C-alpha cells in the first residue's frame, strides 16, 4: 500500500526476531531481571524520587500516607470565617446550576422581619453518594465559599448519612488554609472583601447560625440523617489515621490500634501533622472530636457538637476540648 501521507522514514517495522535460535535464553534473561528487581525490593531503599525504577515502591497505607496535592479534589465543603463565624455562601445558585449530576440543593435565607431574601443560605444539602467530584462547584463559585475537601475516608454503612446537610458541610477557613495554603492565598483577599459586603446585608444571626437553622424550623424540608448523633461526628472528623477507628469497634481492638499508632508515631518522631496525638485518640471513641484547625475558632467546635446530645456528654466534650487547648498552650 502506498502511504503518501507518511514519509518512508517516519514508519518502521517492529522487529520480530523470528529466526533466532531459542533454548530458554529469553526466559533466563527475563528471570535475571526479575531476580535483580526482587533483590532491590528486599534490600534496597524505599523510592524517594520519581526517577527510581527499583527498590521499594509501596506505601503502607493507613500508617503512611502520601502527601495530597493542593489541587486534590474529593467532596465539596463549605467555608465559614473563623473570626466572625459568618458563612461565605450567599446562595447565588451558581454551583447548583453547573453541577453535572445535580446533587446540590440550596435554600436561600429570608429576613424573618421583612421576608426578603438575604445573601446567605438557609440550608444546603449535598448528596455525597451521587457527587462525581468534578470540582465545577468550586470552580464557578464567585465567593469562594465552596471548596473541594481532601478527606477521602468517607465510607459508611449508613447510606442516608451521605445526604450531607449544611451543618456537616461547614468547615472553618483555617481548615481549608491548612490543606491548600497557596490556593487560598490566591483568592483570600477578594473572598474576604466580598464576605464583608455580605455581612452588612445579613440581619441578626443569619449567616452565622450554621447548623441551627434546620432545627429552628426554617421552611425547609431536609433530608436529615436518621442518626442524629452520627452527623456532627462526621462533620468534625479529624483528618489522619485516627479517623479510621470505628465507633463500633470493640474496646480491646481500639486499644490495640491506639497502641500500634503510638508506636508508629514514636518511630516517626511525632512529626506527622495529620495524625492526632495518642492522648487525643482515645476520646474519638466517644464520637466527637474537633479538627485541629477548628479549635482555633471559638464558634467552630461548638457548632460541631450535636444538638441532640445529652447534657453530660456535652459537658464531657467541652472538658476534653478545654484540656486540649491548654495542652497547646492557648
For binding to another protein (CB under 8 A), which residues are involved? 1-6, 9-18, 20, 22, 24-27, 29-30, 33-34, 37, 49-53, 57, 66, 68-69, 71-73, 97-100, 132-136, 139-140, 148
Minimal distance, residue 136 CB to another protein, in Å:
7
Q: Which is nearer to another protein, 135 or 203 (CB)?
A: 135
Q: Which is nearer to another protein, 146 or 214 (CB)?
A: 146
Minimal distance, residue 151 CB to another protein, in Å:
14
Q: Which is nearer to another protein, 239 or 261 (CB)?
A: 239
Q: Which is nearer to another protein, 140 or 285 (CB)?
A: 140
What is the maximal distance between C-alpha atoms in the chain?
Answer: 93
Minimal distance, residue 321 CB to another protein, in Å:
33
Place of cell 470565617: 81
Minimal distance, residue 179 CB to another protein, in Å:
12
Minimal distance, residue 221 CB to another protein, in Å:
17
Q: Which is nearer to another protein, 15 or 311 (CB)?
A: 15
* Residue 314, CA distances (Å) to 59, 217, 284 in order: 38, 23, 14
Q: Which is nearer to another protein, 16 or 200 (CB)?
A: 16
Q: Cβ of 285: how many Cβ atoms within 10 Å?
A: 16
| Residue of 296, 279, 290 lying closest to 317 (CA atoms) | 290
Q: Cβ of 215: how many Cβ atoms within 10 Å?
A: 14
Minimal distance, residue 21 CB to another protein, in Å:
11
CA angle 105, 174, 299 (to 5 degrees): 75
Per-position b or e across 133-148, b if 16+ CB within 10 A of its CB? eebbbbeebebbbbbb
Minimal distance, residue 13 CB to another protein, in Å:
6
| Residue of 70, 109, 99 lying closest to 219 (CA atoms) | 109
Distance CA 172, CA 199 (A): 16
Radius of gyration of the chain from its Cα atoms, rounded to whole angstroms: 26
- Whether 290 and 300 have beta carbons less than 8 Å apart is answered as yes
Q: Which is nearer to another protein, 132 or 255 (CB)?
A: 132
Beta-carbon contacts of 70 under 8 Å, excluding residues fewer than 6 positions away, are 179, 180, 181, 182, 183
Amino acid at each position: 500500500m502506498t502511504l503518501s501521507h507518511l514519509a518512508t522514514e517516519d514508519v518502521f517495522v517492529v522487529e520480530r526476531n523470528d529466526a533466532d535460535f531459542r533454548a530458554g535464553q529469553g526466559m533466563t534473561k527475563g528471570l535475571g531481571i526479575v531476580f535483580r528487581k526482587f533483590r532491590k525490593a528486599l534490600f534496597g531503599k524505599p523510592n524517594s524520587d520519581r526517577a527510581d525504577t527499583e527498590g521499594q515502591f509501596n506505601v503502607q497505607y493507613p500508617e503512611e500516607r502520601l502527601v495530597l496535592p493542593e489541587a486534590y479534589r474529593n467532596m465539596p465543603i463549605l467555608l465559614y470565617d473563623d473570626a466572625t463565624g459568618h458563612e461565605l455562601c450567599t446562595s447565588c445558585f451558581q454551583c447548583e446550576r453547573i453541577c453535572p449530576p445535580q446533587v446540590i440543593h440550596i435554600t436561600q435565607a429570608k429576613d424573618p422581619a421583612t421576608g426578603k431574601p438575604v445573601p446567605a443560605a438557609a440550608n444546603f444539602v449535598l448528596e455525597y453518594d451521587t457527587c462525581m467530584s468534578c470540582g465545577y462547584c468550586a470552580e464557578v463559585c464567585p465567593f469562594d465559599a465552596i471548596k473541594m475537601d481532601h478527606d477521602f475516608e468517607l465510607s459508611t454503612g449508613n447510606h442516608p448519612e451521605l445526604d450531607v446537610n449544611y451543618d456537616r458541610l461547614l468547615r472553618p477557613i483555617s481548615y481549608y488554609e491548612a490543606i491548600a495554603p497557596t490556593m487560598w492565598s490566591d483568592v483570600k483577599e477578594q473572598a474576604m472583601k466580598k464576605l464583608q459586603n455580605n455581612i452588612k446585608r445579613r440581619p441578626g444571626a443569619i449567616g452565622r447560625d450554621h447548623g441551627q437553622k434546620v432545627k429552628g424550623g426554617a421552611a425547609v424540608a431536609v433530608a436529615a440523617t436518621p442518626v442524629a448523633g452520627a452527623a456532627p461526628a462526621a462533620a468534625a472528623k479529624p483528618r489522619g489515621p485516627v479517623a479510621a477507628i470505628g465507633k463500633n469497634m470493640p474496646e480491646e481492638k481500639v486499644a490495640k490500634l491506639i497502641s500500634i499508632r503510638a508506636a508508629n508515631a514514636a518511630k516517626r518522631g511525632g512529626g506527622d501533622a495529620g495524625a492526632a496525638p495518642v492522648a487525643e485518640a482515645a476520646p474519638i471513641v466517644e464520637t466527637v472530636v474537633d479538627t485541629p484547625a477548628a479549635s482555633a475558632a471559638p464558634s467552630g467546635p461548638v457548632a460541631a457538637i450535636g444538638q441532640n446530645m445529652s447534657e453530660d456528654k456535652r459537658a464531657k466534650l467541652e472538658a476534653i476540648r478545654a484540656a486540649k487547648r491548654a495542652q497547646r498552650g492557648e
